[in-house]
């Protein structure tokens, strides 16, 4: 199991380097595909992955990415309202086939996955995005690693005792501090290449710290959904890691966090 997890992890890193490094249409298409797979996994938890509810959710996700590609944000709100109306129409005219939770989860998935994961592409598309996009990885995976190391050695106070007994407040603080230090170190290496970033070390450290706090919420949120529905893994797409939601749960939250943190800090 460890070897499988290690090998698939190495493959993921190589793919990330190629896809994120290339950016553009390749990253856009991969982001859209990963979002749709994640939406499918979420709907499968609710038993609606092949239903009208699930298909409506996927269609809204595709429409959102089409609007993003055309750089037209004016109709995103309209898309969201139309998706909600369509889902409620299905709910009403097929009643009682679908539960309220199934319908609301399908709508939730549009924003939780399609919208929030799209910020990986949107950060990459920013000025200096070729450097800034890696802050998403640093703040999520860096936070996870640092939180684990600090938690193992110093963890005494439980962060979420019922949901995740092994996570500690000390580990959470260590994860945020570690992500900030990693962000600062990254800026020391590449800050001179960031032409539009004022005080790269401070900006990157602050952005990573903010995103690290939010990433831990994302990690716990994905775990909470699984606990509520007695699911071990969301899928088996990534050997040794599970599904998209198992591997990218924290990045779903760090991508928009990095985007908006940089928007206000730059």
Same domain flag for 138 and 256:
yes
Same domain flag for 104 and 209:
no
5 lies in some domain = no
75 lies in some domain = yes
Render pLDDT for 58-116 as a digit per residue (tens, 0 to 9). Answer: 999 999 999 999 988 789 999 999 999 999 999 999 999 999 999 999 999 999 999 99
Mean pLDDT of the chain: 89
Q: Are 57 and 43 within 8 A, CB to CB? A: yes
Write down the pLDDT at residue 91. 97
101 lies in some domain = yes
16 lies in some domain = no
Q: Is the pLDDT at 232 greater than 90, yes or no? A: no
Same domain flag for 182 and 265:
yes
Tell me whether strands 164-168 and 158-160 are parallel, antiparallel or unpaired: antiparallel
Of the three residues 80, 106, 124, the one that is the final residue of a domain is 124
Q: How far apart are CA 224 and CA 204, in angstroms?
A: 30
Q: Which two tokens stand for residue 263?
A: 């928007």
The residues facing 242 across adjacent strands are 238
Residue 186 main-chain phi, psi, to 5 deg: -65, -40
Same domain flag for 150 and 242:
yes
Same domain flag for 37 and 169:
no
240 lies in some domain = yes
Q: What is the pTM of this model?
A: 0.92
Of the three residues 124, 153, 185, the one that is the final residue of a domain is 124
Percent of the chain clearing pLDDT 70 (strictly above): 94
Region 132-148: what's the mean pLDDT? 90
Q: Are 206 and 260 within 8 A, CB to CB? A: no
Q: Is the pLDDT at 191 greater than 70, yes or no? A: yes
14 lies in some domain = no
247 lies in some domain = yes
Same domain flag for 151 and 266:
yes
Q: Which two tokens stand for residue 132?
A: 């800034």
238 contacts: CB under 8 Å, gap ≥ 6:
8, 12, 244, 246, 247
Q: Is the pLDDT at 2 greater than 60, yes or no? A: no
Q: Is the pLDDT at 203 greater than 90, yes or no? A: yes
pLDDT band at 3 (very low <50, low <70, confident <90, very high): low
Of the three residues 100, 124, 148, the one that is the final residue of a domain is 124
Residue 161 main-chain phi, psi, to 5 deg: -55, -40
Domain count, the chain: 2
Which DSSP symbol is given to 165?
A: E
Q: Which two tokens stand for residue 15?
A: 């793919």
195 contacts: CB under 8 Å, gap ≥ 6:
127, 128
Same domain flag for 107 and 137:
no
Q: Is the pLDDT at 240 greater than 80, yes or no? A: no
CA nearest to 116, candidates 222, 9, 8, 243? 222
Region 135-149: what's the mean pLDDT? 89
Write the DSSP assignment of 205-242 as a string of letters. Answer: HHHHHHHHHHHHHHHHHHHHHHHHTT-S-S-SSBTTTB
Same domain flag for 238 and 174:
yes
Same domain flag for 89 and 135:
no
Q: Which two tokens stand for residue 35?
A: 């979002």
Q: Are 36 and 62 within 8 A, CB to CB? A: yes
Residue numbers of the domain that contains 134: 128-266
pLDDT band at 9 (very low <50, low <70, confident <90, very high): low
């Amino acid at each position: 199991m460890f070897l499988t997890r290690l090998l698939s992890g190495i493959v993921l890193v190589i793919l990330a380097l190629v896809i994120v490094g290339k950016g553009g249409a390749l990253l856009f298409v991969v982001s859209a595909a990963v979002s749709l797979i994640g939406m499918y996994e979420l709907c499968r938890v609710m038993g609606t992955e092949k239903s009208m509810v699930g298909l409506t959710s996927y269609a809204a996700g595709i429409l959102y990415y089409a609007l993003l590609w055309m750089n037209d944000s004016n109709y995103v709100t309209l898309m969201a309202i139309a998706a909600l109306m369509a889902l409620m129409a299905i709910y009403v005219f097929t009643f009682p086939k679908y539960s309220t939770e199934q319908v609301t989860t399908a709508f939730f998935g549009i924003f939780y996955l399609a919208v929030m994961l799209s910020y990986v592409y949107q950060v990459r598309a920013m000025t200096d995005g070729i450097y800034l996009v890696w802050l998403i990885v640093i703040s999520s995976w860096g936070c996870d690693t640092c939180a684990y190391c600090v938690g193992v050695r110093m963890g005494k106070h439980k962060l979420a005792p019922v949901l995740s007994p092994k996570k500690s407040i000390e580990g959470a603080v260590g994860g945020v501090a570690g992500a900030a230090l990693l962000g600062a170190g990254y800026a020391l290496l590449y800050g001179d290449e960031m032409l539009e970033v004022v005080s790269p070390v401070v900006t990157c450290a602050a952005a990573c710290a903010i995103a690290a706090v939010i990433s831990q919420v994302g990690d716990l949120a994905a775990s909470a959904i699984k606990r509520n529905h007695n699911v071990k893994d969301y899928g088996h797409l990534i050997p040794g890691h599970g599904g998209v939601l198992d591997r990218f749960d924290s990045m779903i939250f760090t991508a928009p966090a990095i985007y908006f943190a940089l928007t206000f800090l730059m």
